[in-house]
Amino acid sequence: MRSNMKKRTGIAGVPIEIEQTGGRNWRVSYAARLVASDLLVLIWVVFGVQIAWFGIAASDVQFRGSLADTAISYSVISIVLIVTWMISLGIYGSRGYRVLGTGWQEYRLVAGSTVRLFGLVALIAYLFQIDLARGYILIAFPLGLAVLALSRWMWRQWLGVHRLDGRYSSRVLLVGSEVSATHLARQLARQPKAGYLVVGACIPSGLVAGYLPDSAIPVFGNLDKLQAAMTAVGADTVVITSSDELSPERVRELSWSLEPGRQHLVVAPSLTDIGGPRIHTRPVAGLPLIHVETPRFEGRNFFAKRAFDLLCSGLLIVVLSPFLLIIGAVIRLSTPGDVLFRQERVGINGRHFSMLKFRSMVTDAEALLVGLRDEARTEGNSVLFKMKEDPRVTPIGKYLRRFSLDELPQLFNVFGGSMSLVGPRPPLEREVAEYENHVHRRFLVKPGITGLWQVSGRSNLSWEDTVRLDLYYVENWSITGDIVILWQTARAVLASDGAY
C-alpha cells in the first residue's frame, strides 16, 4: 500500500499527518489481519486440543440411532468447528471498525459469538445424537475464547501505537459552529487510540483559510464545497458537531453528498463524559433519539459496591498485614515521629473523616507548608498542592510515595466505611473552599484510594483534568469499571510515573 504523507500541526500543537492512501482501505486491511490471526489462533487451539485429547491418531465421532453405522473423523469435526467459528466471528461484527481500538464491545462480540456457537454445537449434538467427546468441547471453547481475547488485545496495542502517529484512523472533517468544533477536536485529541483524527473543520460562517483556536486545524467556510474540503485534507468521515446553523434538510443533503461505503457520517450530540452503558439509541418517526440514563446514587448498586469494598479491603488487610508491620517498623526506626499520619479529609455528602497514611514526611510538615504553597502552584495546579521535589519528604517517604505504599493504611478507612477502594480523590477542607459549584458533585460518592485520576497521570494531571476524571467517574461508575480501574492501578503503581 502506497502512501503520500504531509505533516501539519493539530490541536494543542499535536502533529497531524495528511495521508492520501492508495490501495485498500485501512479498515479492510486491518480486518484482513484480524481474519488471518483469528484463523491461526483457532487452528492452533482446536487441533491442539484434539491432539492433546486423542493423540495423533484421532478417533471417530459415532452417531446413534439410524446413523449407527456412520463415523466421521475428529479432524473433519475440527475443520468444521474452525470454519463455523470464523463465520460466527464475522456475522456478529467482531471485526467491524466501529468496535476496534477502545471499549469492551469488541471483546463482548467475540465472547457472544463463541458462546452462541457453543450452544449451537451442543444443540446439534443432542438432536442428532452425536457422541462428541465432552472434554474436547469443554476445553476447546473456553481456551479458544481466552486466546482469541489475548490475540485481539495484542492487536489493540499494535493499533494504538499506529494511531498515535495518525495511521489506521478515521480522518475527520468537523462540521458545525466554531465553539462546538473546537471542543470536539480537543476531546478527540485526548483519545487518539479511539481512531478519530481531526484533519479539518467546515464552519458555515464564510471564514476561509483560517484555523481552529489554539491549533493549526484548517477551517473551510463553504458547505457547498464539502467534497473539495474533504479531498484537500484527505478526510473520509464527516462529524456534525452542532446543527445550530444546519437545518434538518441541509443535514440530509449533506449525508446524500457522501460516497457510500467510502465516506462516513457521524453526528456528535452536545454531550460529553457520558459512559456507554447510560446511552440508548431509539429511532422514532425517523428521528434517532438518544436516551441518557441519569446516574443513581442509591439502591442495590451502592449496596453491591459496599459489599465489594468490605470483602476486598478485609482480605487485603489480612494478606498484607505482615508487609504493613514491616513498613511500620522501617518508618519507626528510620525517622522520629509516629508511624501513621492522620489528616482530616472531606468525604461523601461533605462529611469529614480522618484519613490514614503511612507517614512519609517530617513531623512538622504542616508548619512548613505555608512557605511552599506559592512555589507549588507554579507546577501546573491551581488548587492541589503538588511538588516534584518536596523538601518535607523523608528518604524512606520518597520510596513509599513512588510506589504508593503510603496509601495502604487507607484500607482500614475502606473497611470502616469512610472511603471506597475506587472513587474521587479525598480533598482537604482548604481545597473544597476553592471549588466551583459543579465540582461538589464529587461528594455524591465516597472518596477512593484510587480512581481515574490515579490511572490517568496521577500527580502530573492539571486541576481541570483531575476534576473532569472525577466527575466522569461519579456519573458513570460501575462495579465492572471499578475492577478495571483496580487492575490499571496496579500497572500505574509499578510504572511509578507521576507519583510524588
Q: What is the structure's pLDDT at 33? A: 92
The span from the CA of 276 to the CA of 265, in Å, is 20
Q: What is the structure's pLDDT at 20? A: 41
DSSP state of 428: P
This prediction's pTM = 0.67
The span from the CA of 219 to the CA of 212, in Å, is 7
DSSP state of 295: P
Distance of CA 259 to the CA centre of its chain: 31
Coil/strand/helix, residue 459 = helix
CB 472 within 8 A of CB 438: no
R_g over Cα of the chain: 28
CB 237 within 8 A of CB 173: yes
Q: What is the dihedral of CA 27, 29, 33, 36, to 10 degrees?
A: 110
8 grid coordinates: 501539519
Beta bridge partners of 357: 341
3-state helix, strand, coil in the chain (%, to 5): 55, 15, 30
Q: What H or E segment, with its residue span, contains residue 51?
A: helix 26-54
Q: What is the structure's pLDDT at 21? A: 41
Q: What is the structure's pLDDT at 12? A: 41
For cell 476531546, the residue is 187
Of 140, 137, 135, 127, give the one whose Cα is nearest residue 63. Answer: 127
Give DSSP secondary structure letters for 52-118: HHH-SS--EEEE-GGGTT-EEEHHHHHHHHHHHHHHHHHHTTTT-GGGSSSSSHHHHHHHHHHHHHH
The span from the CA of 172 to the CA of 155, in Å, is 23
Of 36, 2, 32, give the one whose Cα is nearest residue 20. Answer: 2
Query: Where exactly are the structural domains of the chain?
Result: 3-21+168-292, 26-164, 300-495
Q: Give, to the nearest 10 degrees, the angle between helix 74-91 and helix 134-164.
A: 40
The span from the CA of 193 to the CA of 246, in Å, is 30
Q: Which residues of the chain have pLDDT under 70?
A: 1-24, 55-72, 205-209, 243-245, 271-278, 280, 285-287, 293-298, 363-391, 457-461, 495-500
Q: What is the structure's pLDDT at 6? A: 43
> What is 3-21+168-292's CATH superfamily?
Nitrogenase molybdenum iron protein domain (3.40.50.1980)
Q: What is the structure's pLDDT at 256? A: 82
Side-chain-facing half-sphere of 219: CA atoms under 13 Å: 23
CB 135 within 8 A of CB 53: yes
326 grid coordinates: 514491616
Q: How far, in Å, are 62, 138, 307, 315, 495 from residue 311 at the CA level?
A: 49, 31, 6, 6, 27
